[in-house]
Amino acid sequence: MDKIQKTILMLAGDFTEDYEVMVPFQTLGVFGLQTDVACPGKKAGETIKTAIHDFEGDQTYTEKPGHRFLLNATFSSLRIENYAGLYLTGGRSPEYLRLNDEVLDIVRYFMKLSKPVAAICHGVQILTAADVVRGRRLTAYPAVRPEVEMAGGIYIEKEPDESVADGNLVTSPAWPGNTAILRDFIALLGISVSW
């Protein structure tokens, strides 16, 4: 495999789902991709707190404290034209990140240029707030379905370990789908894998 010179922007915030930031960050690195993780209001070298969401037979997921994740990019210094793709993490952070106009503008930029975009779990809330899902096929955590449909998206029900690819957009319902969403995202970046 040739050395790849692509950089990915990952947006995350406090109480992002632990596996939905840690696993993609590490996996993208395996493929030689630099992944810059940024959070509005924070600088490189600062941390975000993550949360572990688990499925233990209750009516919804449970939440436990996760790790501290070290940010390696400063949100206010981002040059989005330098990024080949965008990755939106899930958990609780999307519910407030979607209120940030700069975050929404970043999403619109990537979608307008048809650059690869991945959103997992509640990360889809940022897409709906940016008004970029109209007519698009996507999935999300089931509780986000009404938002997807109100934003004009076509919600596709999937198992937690599956993903949906539609053009430049790939989505998955939850962290068990990390393998599927990352496989699709890597393909959108033009990286072929033959082990």
**Residues identified as active-site:** 121-122
Report residue 184 as tokens: 């699709």
The CA distance from 177 to 106, in Å, is 24
Name the DSSP class of 60. S
Task: Write out the H or E segment, with its range, that includes residue 107.
Answer: helix 101-112
Task: Write out the H or E segment, with its range, that includes residue 128.
Answer: helix 124-129
Nearest in space to 166 (alpha carbons), one of 176, 175, 153, 178 = 153
Q: Which residues have CB under 8 Å from 110's CB, separation 6+? A: 80, 83, 85, 86, 116, 117, 168
Nearest in space to 66 (alpha carbons), one of 51, 55, 53 = 51
The CA distance from 126 to 111, in Å, is 12
